[in-house]
Structure 1
């Protein structure tokens, strides 16, 4: 222990004769220490003469006083923790604790005036045991908020938050609380996924930790792609439709044709050996199970054509077609028909008061018919893949005729219904038709009738009577008169077959 005279002198020098203190014994900068570590107060430019007394104090409390006749005086709490260099006066302080923080003063008494120096020591506990927590991990874009909390052991901690390389500052939509240890984002977006970095530091060290958020969003920006891409496709082609969207979690897809949902699901729809009945507007629907949102793609038109085959042109009614009547021509074929064109005798057929086209050009109706309507009708069918023609040779018969071509005359037998078609008149033969009776009068005067038997005509009563090679020059009228046919001066003879309808024989 120091003797009372020495302590009295030291105290007098410290507190009364302050002007006698020397300056600059210690560095002016503050010193930093870490808990459990050591620090050394180094004397700068110590006195060149031997020391009589060296004393260290902190916050008015003795750390160590050395010199004089007694042993070193070590303050409470410093035993075993300090080492004094008696030559330079420097002090080592070991196993630092937080309470070692303070202002340290050293006084050295040597020959001449005492010298003094001061230094500030700050002791810190290091940053450690960092954690980041989020109050909400089930986030939906525009609908959710999140608070991130950063915690750490250590003293005098400061907090910073970064998203990538950008530092957060308090602003609209961003809040910093509890000394910046808590970050709150209001109404998160997909760009707030992170990673978010919390950086904690003090003068001793720093540490950091990150967290990444999962934020559900979408679906949006749906894209439908068709491979191969073309304007139209032939039947039997293979197509692949693929659908994509921006969505988290990935969207679920379902396909639709002409607005009607199909059973097909998934991002890819494969159409193999596609047929014409599969043509239409294809689209895909995207659904996010987390955001509960739906969105549909722009539709893609797919046109499938079948090659035209088996083209035919038919008419109604069935022949014979009679002047003054009507006829409908129908043009049809297998396959996809995009266009029908009509021609007659090689010239385009145009609509008129008598010629009516259906809306799809499939049929042409003509009424009333003229003899000039006879001719070859042609229908041309086409699509972008193929084309075919179908034709029909239409014959319009003279009114009252049952055969094609021009007619000289026609015979309609009364109750017998017998019909005789005469091409050219003959000479020397008279045929007379009466109710229930038909006679052939030859030039020799013999007569054959349907009421008698004739081995030549091979019939009995009421049987079929065949008059072969009958030269008919006149018809007998009901009133007894007759109608002369042809020119009697013509010597050539054309033959016509006349058949009598089969009916029951008449009483004799």
Structure 2
């Protein structure tokens, strides 16, 4: 096992850490040996297979730096630890060291993986919005850098392939087949490697409806204020139109109101809910009857009667008044007197 500090100063149970050691593109890394500071006769560092010389040190002659590493290394002559700077992606590979002290040779090897930091993570959709319920959509997660892992989440919950969701083998694409309105939400893609992490998010909106269209209001009314309300489950919100007995009522409000109802307000009210994104429109009918007088109304009717007294000559006229009181419960009153 081995451990590294935040400065990439690595230690291990052997002469070198077992590895791999993680490095950042353009950054530095230190391969620290387990040797305590002492006087070393010779040190030789190599890279790759076949080996390429990084540094050779002889106590009698001093250090020699290999081609491609000039200005990029520092060698600790007392521990044989090596610092490598300005890392490139091609620096990934196997590193070996041979150390000689008083005729004893110690050998160690480890590996380095150089990662490019992740940046520019984003999510794109296909097809482009609007997305309509029942269709399919694919979210694609991409980023610059050395991508090792991807994770998908919806509204903070980790997603896996199930139900109508499929995820590509490299997890770069998440597909939703026959989308439902419950698929609306915030989708996140987390892209990471051992040295960096980036997140991208996308708000997915599913357009649906209208459905569940209904009119709420009285079916029978007597002279007072009339209010009918039309509602529907729809995204985006539906637009509404009204008709009474086949005649259009101006306006597009979900509510129809009249301060005082009249007999002519009776009939079939039709509300049509329209979603201009999904292209769906649904109509419902509400029957309303406007009655005459309220229950328990008292009507006083005055009847004047003309009485003719006498014959053809000397006519006398007398007018009498009769009062008739009628108690009406939910009825229409019609009187005709000859």
**How high is the TM-score relative to the length of structure 2?**
0.78
Cα pair distance change 1:49/1:132, threshold 3 Å: closer
Q: Is the 8 A contact 2:292 2:332 kept in 1?
A: no
Q: Is the 8 A contact 1:24 1:116 kept in 2?
A: no
Does the residue aligned with 1:50 lie in a helix, a strand or coil? coil
Q: Which of the residues 1, 26, 30 maps onto 1:40?
A: 30
Q: Return the alpha-carbon distance in structure 2 between the equivalents of residues 250 and 232 of structure 1.
A: 29
The match for 1:383 is: 329
Q: Return the alpha-carbon distance in structure 1 between the equivalents of residues 292 and 41 of structure 2.
A: 116
**1:178 positional shift:** 6.6
Cα pair distance change 1:98/1:249, threshold 3 Å: same
Q: Any residues of structure 2 matched to 1:246-257 within 5 Å, and which?
A: 246-257=233-244
**1:40 positional shift:** 0.7
Does the residue aligned with 2:90 lie in a helix, a strand or coil? helix
Q: Is the 8 A contact 1:53 1:66 kept in 2?
A: yes
Q: Is the 8 A contact 2:268 2:285 kept in 1?
A: no
Q: Does 2:181 align with 1:190? A: yes
**1:278 positional shift:** 1.5
Q: Any residues of structure 2 matched to 1:179-328 within 5 Å, and which?
A: 179-226=170-217, 232-235=220-223, 237-257=224-244, 260-264=246-250, 265-297=252-284, 299=286, 301-306=288-293, 309=299, 311=301
Q: Is the 8 A contact 2:38 2:78 kept in 1?
A: no
Does the residue aligned with 1:195 lie in a helix, a strand or coil? strand
Q: Is the 8 A contact 2:91 2:112 kept in 1?
A: yes
Q: Is the 8 A contact 2:38 2:79 kept in 1?
A: no
Q: Return the alpha-carbon distance in structure 1 between the equivalents of residues 302 and 271 of structure 2.
A: 41
Superposed CA offset, 1:335-381 (max 9, x none): xxxxxxxxxxxxxxxxxxxxxxxxxxxxxxxxxxxxxxxxxxx9956
Unaligned runs of 5+ in 2: 1-12, 309-323
Q: Return the alpha-carbon distance in structure 1 between the equivalents of residues 17 and 289 of structure 2.
A: 86
Unaligned runs of 5+ in 1: 1-22, 320-377, 393-508
Does the residue aligned with 2:185 lie in a helix, a strand or coil? coil
The match for 1:51 is: 40
Superposed CA offset, 1:466-499 (max 9, x none): xxxxxxxxxxxxxxxxxxxxxxxxxxxxxxxxxx
Q: Return the alpha-carbon distance in structure 1 between the equivalents of residues 225 and 35 of structure 2.
A: 94
Q: Is the 8 A contact 1:232 1:305 kept in 2?
A: no
Q: Does 2:93 align with 1:106? A: no
**1:81 positional shift:** 0.4
Q: Return the alpha-carbon distance in structure 2 between the equivalents of residues 232 and 172 of structure 1.
A: 48
What is the CA RMSD across the aligned residues, in angstroms? 3.2
Q: Any residues of structure 2 matched to 1:419-430 within 5 Å, and which?
A: none
**1:179 positional shift:** 1.9
The match for 2:314 is: none
**How high is the TM-score relative to the length of structure 1?**
0.53
**1:294 positional shift:** 2.4
Q: Which of the residues 21, 33, 44 maps onto 1:31?
A: 21
Q: Is the 8 A contact 1:380 1:388 kept in 2?
A: no
Superposed CA offset, 1:17-63 (max 9, x none): xxxxxx811223421000001011112133x6411011211222211
How many aligned residue pairs are there? 301
Cα pair distance change 1:238/1:75, threshold 3 Å: same
Cα pair distance change 1:273/1:49, threshold 3 Å: closer
More strand by share: 2
The match for 2:85 is: 94
**1:139 positional shift:** 1.9
Cα pair distance change 1:181/1:389, threshold 3 Å: closer
The match for 1:160 is: 151
Q: Does 2:80 align with 1:125? A: no
Q: Return the alpha-carbon distance in structure 1 between the equivalents of residues 336 and 146 of structure 2.
A: 103
Q: Return the alpha-carbon distance in structure 1 between the equivalents of residues 124 and 334 of structure 2.
A: 79
